Amino acid sequence: MPKAKKQKEQKEHWKTEPEEHDFPAAAAYLSLQFPPAAVETLVDALKGAETTYAKAKDLLRASRLQLLPANDPEVEKDLDRVGGGAPLSPVLLVRGNGDAGIPLIVADGYHRICASYELGEDEPIPCRLVDRP
């Protein structure tokens, strides 16, 4: 498939900016792994980070998360949104540390990654990626 067409398709079901409610969701998840000051630092960094792109299959591998089935209720909701023409919000990520065996953290967007995988494992997903504190 020509690159221009792939980019056009991508824009049809992905937003370029996260929704405002994604940041508190990320903070809630990150608060299970980091102290409050680190969570605040990470969320502020995610808000200011540039949007980049990664493949669904690579995000799953780097995070060591299992692919949820298409009939998972939240994955199904995201697939229905895409099918109805509503774009999905970029995912929010905290970089792991391969040398230390620490996986990528999906702070918000796990179900969106799984839905995207169902659409194509090589699907480029918009991401906000920040380093650990």
Domain of 22, CATH number, reads 3.90.1530
Q: What is the pTM of this model?
A: 0.89
Within the chain, which residues score under 70 in pLDDT? 1-12
Residue range of the domain that includes 15: 3-130
**Total tally of structural domains belonging to the chain:** 1
| pLDDT of amino acid 133 | 85
Tens-digit pLDDT profile for residues 76-94: 999 999 999 999 999 999 9
Q: Per-residue b/e over 14-51, b at no fewer than 16 CB within 10 Å?
A: beeebeeebbebbbebbeeebeeeebebbbeebeebee
